[in-house]
Amino acid sequence: MWNLGKTSRFAQIVMALSLAFSLRLSASADALPNPDGLCLADAYEYLGDENSVFREVTWAEADFLFRTEGTHVFLIGGPWCTNTSPVVGYINEVAKEYGVETIYLFDLRLDGATADTHVRESDGAMRRGSVITGSLYNYLYGEMVQRYLTNLDGFVEQNLASGDVFSFRDKEGNVRELSRLQVPFLFVYNRDHVDEEGSPAPIIAALEEMKERDDFLYIDGTIDREKEEEYRELLRETVFEALKEGETSCLTDFDFIEALYGQKAEEAVTATLRQIRWQLKQKQDTLVLVGRRNDPATRLMLEAATQEAKANQTMVYLFDPQLDGGVGTEIFGYGKTPDITREDSGFAGLYASLISDRMGNLGDYTQGMIFPEDGEAKVALPALPFLVAVNPARKDENAHPAPVFALAEDVESVPEVFRSMMQNQGLIYQAPAVQPEADPGNAVFRLLSHNRSRLVAGAILLLLVGICGITVLTGKHS
């Protein structure tokens, strides 16, 4: 215990207030929802938990997990899937019941939304008279199954025996046929696991359940509590009973960035295209570093950006325009990549829509090449990598939307972006013309509203504990 008898009365008062403040911080730190949780809670109608166990991973992160020792829990699916969205809440609930801290959400649609980007489509697959663009990169699914999910056939309905299989042409030109998993596909994975006969069996347990919410949870439009419990029990028996307490991995952005970018960057978070689009709708300053993971220039800019972010107490969102994170070329050895900044990728429209929808005035800040959108409208493409500062609430002097307010296309100009951000924050929160609206549907506004009562209660607690500390300390020496 501290001996306060020989300290001055002023020092005692300061120590009492400091203790009260530290108690307030420790009490609130774990109570705040995390931003990734807000994004997922918005995306999944039936999740209902801003602090869920789910963590959405990029393709590069998923590939890293498949190659990393330890036990990982995956859910393959997406918010676009009418079979996945209704069950994520139950999966989250049962996972917490078993002490699972993280389930990695992985989407086979490269943009996390549209059917045309689905890579689990066989060669030549058509939709509405056109070849599905995702099928041009179906080697991503094929190699994932061949290399990592080697015992998938025993866990899915559309297996080799069914005749309804997935086919693709590998880099040697050979046609391969593999099992076709359907989503949601929940599974426990360990690369080193073997079956009773000693054969590799990396998928330890799995559940492939294709049901609509109305089909198995409702009776005459009313939720059936017995059916809910039946599904929870199905999750327990088929998946979670295969786990041992504390067995599963719980990797963070810090871990992934260190592994994939070779840097320790606590001030950066990785993001999928779906997450970037969501984040750039929030009425707040957001810094996005757009660069290819396997480009040395990206790593140099990341280092500079995170140093500035640390000094300015902010974060950088790290987005790789290669939607596979370079896995197809770097790990699998194929010659093409689904890079949305390349016109010949088939996914150039995704870059064009990202800029036109979220960074419409980007062209005011760069002399870079002009990027075509469907051969007509044009959007700017700065030199990669680039660091951009965006706030959707910002307007120009004529009250027109001007979300982009700073850009760096080289390492030397990175500090200027952070100076602009500091100036912009002052502008946003002082000038009524560009204040963010108090939109209850906005995740940032919800976050503040959700915690307003806690903040008020914390302030009162801080005041009371401080007064009590002062009273006790001054009373001893009066």
pLDDT, one tens digit per residue, over 441-454 is 333 333 333 444 44
pLDDT, average across residues 140-148? 98
In the predicted model, is pLDDT for residue 259 greater than 50?
Answer: yes
Question: What pLDDT, in 10s, does the model give residues 377-403?
Answer: 689 999 999 999 999 999 999 999 999
In the predicted model, is pLDDT for residue 475 greater than 70?
Answer: no
Q: For a pLDDT cut of 70, what percent of the chain falls above it?
A: 80
pLDDT value of position 216: 78
Work out whether the CA dihedral 194, 198, 200, 205 comes out positive or negative.
Answer: negative
Calculate the CA 32 to chain-centre distance.
Answer: 17
pLDDT, average across residues 169-173? 96
Calculate the CA 145 to chain-centre distance.
Answer: 23
pLDDT value of position 160: 96
pLDDT, average across residues 18-26? 37
pLDDT, average across residues 35-41? 84
pLDDT value of position 29: 32
Name the strands in the sheet holding 286-290, side by side, starting at the edge strand that comes first in the sequence.
Answer: 268-270, 316-319, 286-290, 386-390, 404-408
Neighbours of 425 (CB within 10 A): 15
Please state the domain extents for the chain: 9-30+442-476, 47-242, 260-434
User: Considering the entire predicted model, what is its pTM?
Assistant: 0.82
- Gap between the Cα atoms of 469 and 136, Å rounded: 68
pLDDT value of position 27: 32
pLDDT value of position 442: 39
- Gap between the Cα atoms of 197 and 49, Å rounded: 41
Q: Hey, which CATH number is domain 260-434, 3.40.30.10, 3.40.309.10, 3.30.2130.10, 3.10.20.30?
A: 3.40.30.10
pLDDT value of position 445: 35
- Gap between the Cα atoms of 135 and 131, Å rounded: 8
CATH code for the domain defined by 47-242: 3.40.30.10
Both tokens of 431, joined, read 């000038």
Task: List all residues 6 or more positions away from 262 whose beta carbon is below 8 Å from its beta carbon.
Answer: 299
Contact at 8 Å (CB) between 370 and 378?
A: yes
pLDDT value of position 130: 92
pLDDT value of position 369: 76
Contact at 8 Å (CB) between 390 and 288?
A: yes
In the predicted model, is pLDDT for residue 159 greater than 60?
Answer: yes
Using alpha carbons only, how large is the chain's radius of gyration in Å? 25
Intrachain domains 47-242 and 260-434 with the same fold = yes
Residue 293 CB-half CA count within 13 A? 32
Question: For 12-21, 85-94, 120-129, which range has the lowest pLDDT when averaged over its residues?
Answer: 12-21
Helical (H) or strand (E) element with 14: helix 9-29
- Gap between the Cα atoms of 117 and 48, Å rounded: 27
Q: For a pLDDT cut of 90, what percent of the chain falls above it?
A: 70
